[in-house]
Amino acid sequence: MQGVDPGLFLSKKCLRERLHDRKNRILDNLGIFGGMKKVIRFDRVSKVFGNEKVLNSIDLEIKSGESVVLIGPSGSGKSLILKLISGLLNPTSGSIYINGKDLETLSHDERILLFRSMGMLFQKNALFDSLTVKDNVCFPLRETTDKSQFEIEEIAEYFLKEVGLDHVLDHFPDEISGGMQKRLGIARALALAPEIILYDDPTAGLDPITSRKIVDLILNLKDSGSSTLVTVTNEMNRAYQLADKIVMIVDGEAIVTGNESETKSFQDKRVQQFIKGQVDGPLTDLQ
Amino acid sequence: MTYVSHLGLQLVSFFDELGRTVLFLKDILKLGIKLDVSRKSVFEQIWRVTVQSLPTTALAGFFVGAIMAVQFTLQVKEFGALGFLGGLATSGTFREVGPLLIAFMLSGKVGAFTAAELGTMQVTEQIDAIRCLGANPMKEIILPRFIGIVIASFFLLAFGLMLSVGGGVLVGIVFSNISPEEYVRHIPTVVTFPSIAGGLYKCFVFATLLATICTYKGYTTRGGAKGVGRSVVSTSVATMVGIVIADWLTSLTAEAVLMFFIRG
């Protein structure tokens, strides 16, 4: 058997998969995709909880500076994708690449360093309720940088001013309104000037005016930096406002529907039912 | 068959939980050895636990001493050996009953509080947020609490034991008509260094056990408000059962060490 290429004994499917992997490895090493730097890539990612397969071998690519909005029915796995990107959960199978690095192959310290380049706004804010508004923003700076206390406070005050919370610095999170809590969550997520920002339903439970203000704030902050945004929302107006690219997560699949006009004319009954909010259709049958 | 399989599942689940707790303790010790922890956070935790539990511990310690003195009075009176009341009551309190009862008190107070606090942080995603901000929750919130609880509980237990002498003295005066001087006179005779060391050894083991169980249960809480409630209850049950088993094991090991030194 010596000298014989083992590839000769592989099936066509296996060979195709190997070629696919090799191509992706080369692209990852170059750190490019379609002329733009690829920041996040899902390669046949599946996630199973018990007997339920929530994500079924999905492929997804998000480029640098892009704003991607994830839409889809409740429980379809949108927030799960954010948790997979942020490393809070691991995929059951498949690989997730952040800046060309496979999360699975990274050591604990490498993962921590990588995740410092990300910020996340949680659906229910996840603010530190025993810390003041200012200390919530100071926390990541204090724990992960060598900055002096003076510098840390200066940065925290800057971000809190940016989100319009400079008048409640010494309040505790439960002493401010829901909209203010969202803004505080955004300020905390931005404190480390992350390269990737994940927003999990940033307008959930807010009135339309506050909701609009939050999205404007997110867009203004994006314009002032060059971050890549991944946002989960089910409010289509906000999705259109935020998205360079919309991805619908449904039935374990990730359907890339494109920008606002492309999404509106996308030829998939499930997408059309969802964006139009129709009661009857394939999504209702799925439930 | 159903009963047997249910029992089997319970056993598997118990050993699974025990294994996870041991691994959790291993992770804490690994971090602790590096001394990679904020001293300010540790002192804050020591202060919090001490202030929170000092009155309870003091009260528990005082009454444990008093109870032991009452029990021993009945025994030694028959033999006309009231002079040894202080020594015997204090020895029994230091070596066995004191650490056990005061640790029970602490498990209800410190253990339940810590499990509820960490559990709430877990279910409101605050621990996930710490991780997402590039910090290590084990280092930021678990290690300071663990060290704080071990140190504070150890000193609280020791403090409670000292106060138990006061409780014994009071009982001696009121019920046994012996003076405080008479009560304490034979304490050094009966309460030797190995008794004190044995008591302190138990205090340290109980404190470590309490800190491990309550931080583990809180950190692994799942399922909203109900989950937090479950964690608090299981912390109380697990610490009490754990302390009783640890008491038996520490008594055995302390006796074995004592025998080794006495016989050479």
CATH code reported for the domain at A33-117+194-201+224-287: 3.40.50.300
Which residues in chain B are closer than 8 Å to A139, comparing Cβ atoms? 133, 135
Give which of B123, B124, B117 is closest to B145, Cα–Cα.
Answer: B117
Q: Taking 80 as the threshold, does the pLDDT of residue A38 lie above it? A: no
A48 — pLDDT class (breaks 50, 70, 90):
very high
B263 — pLDDT class (breaks 50, 70, 90):
low
**The pLDDT value given to residue A247:** 94
Q: Taking 60 as the threshold, does the pLDDT of residue B19 lie above it? A: yes
Pick A88's closest partner by Cβ from B128, B135, B136. B128
Pairing of strands A245-250, A253-258: antiparallel
Among residues of chain B, what percentage have pLDDT more than 90?
A: 48
Q: Which is it for the CA torsion B179, B182, B187, B188, positive or negative?
A: positive
C-alpha gyration radius of chain A = 21
B73: buried, middle or exposed (CB in 10 Å: 19+, 13-18, 0-12)? Answer: buried
> Which whole number is the average pLDDT over B51-78?
89
Q: Taking 90 as the threshold, does the pLDDT of residue B35 lie above it? A: no
Q: Taking 80 as the threshold, does the pLDDT of residue A62 lie above it? A: yes
B264 — pLDDT class (breaks 50, 70, 90):
low
Q: Is the ipTM of this complex over 0.95?
A: no
Mark yes or no for CB contact A126/B124 under 8 Å.
yes
Q: Give alpha helix (H) positions in B79-142.
A: 85-92, 98-106, 112-123, 126-132, 137
Residue owning tokens 């867009």: A219
CA distance A277 to B12: 48
Q: Which of A218-227, B207-216, B252-261 has the lowest mean pLDDT?
A: A218-227
A194/B contact by beta carbon, under 8 A: no
Q: Three-class SS string for A63-132? A: ECCCEEEEECCCCCCHHHHHHHHCCCCCCCEEEEEECCEEHHHCCHHHHHHHHCCEEEEECCECCCCCCC
A173/B contact by beta carbon, under 8 A: no
A200 — pLDDT class (breaks 50, 70, 90):
very high
Question: How confident is the model over B224-252, as pLDDT tens digits?
Answer: 899 999 999 999 999 999 999 999 999 89
Question: How confident is the model over A162-178, as pLDDT tens digits?
Answer: 888 889 999 999 999 98
Q: Taking 70 as the threshold, does the pLDDT of residue A213 lie above it? A: yes
Interface test with B, best of A120, A131, A184 (most B CBs within 10 A): A120
Write down the mean pLDDT value for chain B: 89
Helix, strand, coil percentages (3-state) for chain A, rounded to 5, are 45, 25, 30
Mark yes or no for CB contact A127/B126 under 8 Å.
yes
Q: Taking 70 as the threshold, does the pLDDT of residue B191 lie above it? A: yes
**The pLDDT value given to residue A14:** 56
A27 — pLDDT class (breaks 50, 70, 90):
very low
**The pLDDT value given to residue A135:** 94
A20 — pLDDT class (breaks 50, 70, 90):
low
> Which whole number is the average pLDDT over B183-205?
86
What is the residue extent of each domain of chain A? Answer: 33-117+194-201+224-287, 120-191
Angle at B53 between CA B52 and CA B58, to 5 degrees: 140
A5 — pLDDT class (breaks 50, 70, 90):
very low
CA distance A217 to A179: 12
A110 — pLDDT class (breaks 50, 70, 90):
confident
